[in-house]
Structure 1
């Protein structure tokens, strides 16, 4: 496999996407910047890099993936945390096969197989939304927006399939957790998301719960990222950044992990009848000699401060109807070329023999509540409420 991210994605996607396609691949990365660690009480600083990856077919974006990378360098024992921030689709993927699930899997496999840090942590928060990166795409009747319980199951399956492809040596050092706030038993959680997949014999892949002890201080051990539901609750309830109560001799103490998840279950992020899922994966000793060299061949690298502006440029474009989606894709690829120096890379897929699953990847997998547009006026109360956007968001700019 290729040693750069772009090369790896090209080769892996050409082998794993079902059907026959020609894709344009765009990979945009930021420079590494020093920032707060996801767990600043344990490690003060980390180096962060942000990615956004697009796949276009027939001159229209079909899917996009945004990931944040945090690197904590402890000499030979480097640690990398990946936070999957956003995944979105436009609904224009061809019927023969969708690249969404293979794109996520390929991106993660690159870190597992090529980057191979001593400790790799993968973090996902699954919360259903009608759109995330592609404005007006929710109006496309071909876009399958999964309900909240189905989305949690979808993400569990994506991660399971990803981990099934890695070597037995790596699987031996892999632990995965999933948790639905408010559901204390694995049995009830599986019933809710209709997960009937049996765990393999021997060591189960999944642990129901979270990778922290209940009595630990939540603010010390629970990671928080840019645009992260957990971080927002920690700031609001525990009073992070100077507002939280300090431990004193009279018995006051910080919120415990157990108390934190009790609050999460009734929070605006996870409560009010919504079903959300948190996923953590830790892969230890993935490689005896970690590959710390980062190759940027085939991708464009911009300053971290420019990243939000580029994303907002995308959000100002509409992706429905089809003619508008073609126009918006052209406009944004021109922005990528002219302002970011990014050109597409062709991926040719010829896998007609692959079976196309009936329940496919043509879904919008929106994870957080960062950059959103206004609530569509066509949405009604009731069943659609699981997709209502949070009021505390960055609105789309007026034209």
Structure 2
């Protein structure tokens, strides 16, 4: 079963009368060297991008409209037989028929990678990372202006994610039994364990007492191996750079960078001003000696700078890091944020893959990373979802674009010339463009003030070329749901204590005071 089929199977169990249309884009593996930038040596890592788009159709004659989207990444570290599933963004337009399909879509994605029988990565241990931060919109621009979209508040969002992970863990235990070990961690910076637990339980009370959550970080445990290998061969001398992975748009990564490149109390030191080279002519051998000496000095300076940054990272323990994290702007800006980590360890490898297969080998149904990037960039910059009309138009353009990219977008034919009454030829008006703009490579992004280190070794496998067969077999799929809608909740249930029963209301009447006649 591929990812598309697993997601469609989870959507088929939802109540209501509607039809779902799903697009799943998974890029082929590529080399990635910045997951643990302060580890020496850096572990060899392979990255895949995941983009999931779900549209809904209420009747066969009604237009499709996008309702949910998920952006995620999968990191494969073969040296430790670990994989990391990082869920970057989850968003909805608010235009879906109740109940929303977003929870089922999220749980199906997590369960697909958590279950060793369906995990498409050859890894014995899976780590799931998530940073929960409440916002009005993530992937659908201007969708917060839609009246029926109700984004969750900060505490409700953290409670929602904790509930999804608990549900997936319970379902995984029912599937695999004792062959997998799971450990769940969560942390709400700025709140104590009692405050965090009470705040989340007040919204979604725990129903499965067998699932145990640990309030804190997972970097002190030794039962499940961490993704980054330890140079000494054990887990006793790990520093901060070997524990916490770096993701894009993650406050943990920004904080580690500040720790590494802050060398004194005054902040980051400015580079020393270099003297201008002498203009007088020297002999060739003197020039060569000077050039070699300058190159050796630069190399020695870079090594000293790297040693200094690693030394600063080693000074901060994991406990101190999370204690100081509660004072960061991302965590004290008036909203509660949450960090969630789930570890799943299997006793045996997935039977789908063998160790002889290269981690860079593209699997059937995968697309190029550039195609995934083009579609995501188009959603964020070229479309809006404030109303049903605009959402329908954007949905049609995006779905046609994905199909066109798989079919091989051909350049628009040159306009034909027609003769007018005077005998002159006038070009026909060009049709409106509904495809994406040609991809543009941005300049290299600076990481910590310097160019990122990339693996220059060539990839022995070419980029996969999507086709209509790939589109119909792995990317696009639809499922029709025809089940009775769920019963509407009584308005009096909203004031209950969360146990699903209507609270008993006692009306007290005031006794009138008797007056003497």
Task: Please say if residues 133 and 314 of structure 1, whose CA atoms lie closer than 8 Å, have aligned partners that are also in contact.
Answer: yes
Shift of 1:200: 4.6
Secondary structure of the structure 2 residue equivalent to 1:115: coil
Q: What do residues 244-282 of structure 1 show as CA deviations (whole Å, max 9, x unaligned)?
A: 84466xx99532212221332122222222200111111
CA distance in 2, matches of 1:208, 1:27: 34
Structure 2: gaps of 5 or more residues = 58-63, 222-236, 263-301, 355-360, 408-470, 492-517
Alignment counterpart, residue 395 of structure 2, candidates 329, 335, 341: 329
Q: Structure 2 length as normaliser, TM-score?
A: 0.61
Task: Please say if residues 199 and 205 of structure 1, whose CA atoms lie closer than 8 Å, have aligned partners that are also in contact.
Answer: no
Shift of 1:112: 2.4
CA distance in 2, matches of 1:358, 1:234: 49
Aligned length: 347
CA distance in 1, matches of 2:488, 2:178: 28
Q: CA-atom RMSD, angstroms?
A: 3.0
Counterpart of 1:23 in structure 2 is 20
Distance 1:28 1:252, change over 3 A: closer
Does 2:134 align with 1:68?
Answer: no
Alignment counterpart, residue 79 of structure 1, candidates 79, 82, 94: 82
Secondary structure of the structure 2 residue equivalent to 1:63: strand
Counterpart of 1:174 in structure 2 is 182
Alignment counterpart, residue 110 of structure 2, candidates 105, 108, 113: 108
Distance 1:247 1:89, change over 3 A: closer
CA distance in 1, matches of 2:347, 2:483: 30
Between structures 1 and 2, the one with greater strand share = 1
Task: Please say if residues 112 and 286 of structure 1, whose CA atoms lie closer than 8 Å, have aligned partners that are also in contact.
Answer: no
Structure 1: gaps of 5 or more residues = 360-399
CA distance in 2, matches of 1:88, 1:174: 27
CA distance in 2, matches of 1:204, 1:267: 30
Alignment counterpart, residue 152 of structure 1, candidates 149, 158, 167: 158
Does 2:94 align with 1:91?
Answer: yes
Counterpart of 2:143 in structure 1 is 137
Distance 1:62 1:196, change over 3 A: closer
Counterpart of 1:188 in structure 2 is 195
CA distance in 2, matches of 1:123, 1:314: 24
Shift of 1:213: 3.2
Distance 1:38 1:357, change over 3 A: farther
Distance 1:110 1:196, change over 3 A: closer
Counterpart of 2:33 in structure 1 is 36
CA distance in 2, matches of 1:139, 1:198: 33
CA distance in 2, matches of 1:186, 1:37: 32
Task: Please say if residues 238 and 244 of structure 1, whose CA atoms lie closer than 8 Å, have aligned partners that are also in contact.
Answer: no
Counterpart of 2:8 in structure 1 is 10
Task: Please say if residues 182 and 342 of structure 2, whose CA atoms lie closer than 8 Å, have aligned partners that are also in contact.
Answer: yes
Distance 1:295 1:100, change over 3 A: farther
Runs of 4+ in 1 over 6 A off after TM superposition: 355-359
Q: What do residues 344-372 of structure 1 show as CA deviations (whole Å, max 9, x unaligned)?
A: 3111223426568899xxxxxxxxxxxxx
Q: Structure 1 length as normaliser, TM-score?
A: 0.78
Distance 1:227 1:292, change over 3 A: farther
Shift of 1:21: 2.0
Counterpart of 2:341 in structure 1 is 280
Counterpart of 1:261 in structure 2 is 322
Secondary structure of the structure 2 residue equivalent to 1:207: strand
CA distance in 2, matches of 1:286, 1:350: 40
CA distance in 2, matches of 1:122, 1:221: 14
Task: Please say if residues 131 and 337 of structure 2, whose CA atoms lie closer than 8 Å, have aligned partners that are also in contact.
Answer: yes
Counterpart of 2:230 in structure 1 is none
Shift of 1:192: 3.1
Q: Which has the larger radius of gyration?
A: 2
Task: Please say if residues 12 and 479 of structure 2, whose CA atoms lie closer than 8 Å, have aligned partners that are also in contact.
Answer: yes
CA distance in 2, matches of 1:179, 1:358: 34
